Chain A
Amino acid sequence: MRRPRKSHVQKTPEDRENYYSTKIGGVGPSPTLDTQYFDQDSTAAVIPTSDVESTATTQRTARSSALSTFLKEKGLEVLVVVIILGGLGFIVLQLFSFNRELGEFKAREEQREKDSERSQERLQSDVNRINDRLDRLTEHPKK
């Protein structure tokens, strides 16, 4: 439902000029006696009634909501912005995801290298120990 009184859309200078010339200056068409409302009648006068009367209303009572007015006027721009922002968001998300996977891969590689170095050190120390024992056996053979 439109709500002009809740809308933040301002009157343009042309709108204001039109308002002055039609509503305030009274240049615009006046309602005929067939309409329900007498623009210039007294506060003390009531609208005449009869036994048979029209059920139609002469004024729209629905007012625009700020959201529907905004969407009507800027809908296309909003759609384009949403699509662009959505696309950018997707790309950024993908980049983050890729960056995270890259980081995990690097961490795994570093861990493998460390394990490999440790294994080599252990192997080397075992070889050194064996060589030491062989040297001792060679210098002092058992009788």
Chain B
Amino acid sequence: MNEKQGTEHNWFAPIEIDQLIFGVRYERRHSVLDHIGAVSDEILRAKETPFGPDVFPLLQALPHEHRLLDPDSEALLRITASDTILILPTHLDNVEGLAKAASDFDTFVLEPLRRISKVSGIVRHGVVLNLSGESANLANPPIKRFLASELALMTRANSVSIRFTKRLATDEALTRKDVDDYRNVIYNIGESEEGDVNISVDYQQYFKPSLSGSEWSERSFPRFVWGANGYFKGEFSKWLERSVGIAEVA
């Protein structure tokens, strides 16, 4: 994930995805803490694991979680009694590598969690794309785009930070009685005084009621990311182009 991916589809140029986050939230399972050492060993030492000691050279054992980390690259894997979160630095200018990353996360992190700690009661899946770039390279950097009317009334703003969310229905919740799943998308847009632009899109799916073990297998994390990809390539990409002037090159 640290290598620049193929640029056949420069979805987000001239900004790039510099961080990828996967997260799973589940009903609090104290047994996760009982087996957390065994799970960490499995993640680090499994055959062909992409999350070995070269990616996570350090392990931090805290009372309520384990962290596998690399302070230099800022790669981080956190496992608690209610959440498992993987943060990976990347240099991507499209989302084509997401499926492989999601598959690795499922195979080498979630599978040991399922098998060893018997995790179930899944409440949420989430994937975050963090994009960064320079305001000088954008047709419509955030300050100009979102504060145009305010700028007419005051001197130029030096920085801006905007957060908004939107909810979307899911097919299963629209059809099945007593299922109230929904998707939640969190946008964060910011421009610093130095002209650094950061945009993040956090795409989540909440499960109500939570997923049992067998239901989780049918609604796997890679399948969720496949759906998220469709959102990133569609609605998010169009918003990016309209909002800050990212040109989508086919």
Scan A38-68; emit 1 where CB is below 8 A from any B CB, else 0. 0110111011010101000101111110000
| A4 to B172 Cα, complex, angstroms | 10
Residue of B with least CB distance to A9: B177
B123 pairs with A46, CB closer than 8 A: no
Q: A59-B209, A60-B209 are in contact. Are A36 and B82 (CB under 8 A)?
A: yes
**A23 at interface by CB-CB < 8 Å:** yes
| A72 to B210 Cα, complex, angstroms | 22
Q: A4-B209, A47-B80 are in contact. Are A57 and B174 (CB under 8 A)?
A: no
Scan A11-40; emit 1 where CB is below 8 A from any B CB, else 0. 110011001100111100000000011011
B82 pairs with A44, CB closer than 8 A: no
Chain B residues with CB below 8 A from A136, complex form:
none
Chain B residues with CB below 8 A from A11, complex form:
173-177
Residue of A with least CB distance to B211: A5
**B223 at interface by CB-CB < 8 Å:** no
B27 pairs with A57, CB closer than 8 A: yes
Contact for B169 among A2, A20, A60, CB less than 8 A: A20
| A12 to B178 Cα, complex, angstroms | 11
Chain A residues with CB below 8 A from B83, complex form:
46-47
Task: List chain B positions with a Cβ less than 8 A from chain A.
Answer: 21-23, 25, 27-28, 63-65, 78, 80-83, 85, 87, 120-121, 123-124, 126-128, 165, 167-169, 172-180, 182, 184, 186, 202, 204, 206, 208-210, 212, 215
Can you offer 14 A-B residue contacts whose CB atoms are under 8 A? A4-B178, A4-B179, A10-B175, A11-B176, A12-B177, A23-B208, A24-B182, A25-B167, A43-B85, A44-B85, A59-B208, A61-B210, A62-B209, A63-B215
Q: For the A-B complex with A4-B177, A44-B202, A47-B80 known, give 13 more contacts whose Cβ atoms are closer than 8 Å.
A: A10-B177, A11-B173, A36-B82, A37-B123, A42-B186, A43-B22, A43-B202, A46-B65, A47-B28, A53-B28, A59-B121, A61-B210, A63-B209
Task: List chain A positions with a Cβ less than 8 A from chain B.
Answer: 2, 4-5, 7, 9-12, 15-16, 19-20, 23-26, 36-37, 39-40, 42-44, 46-47, 49, 51, 53, 57, 59-64
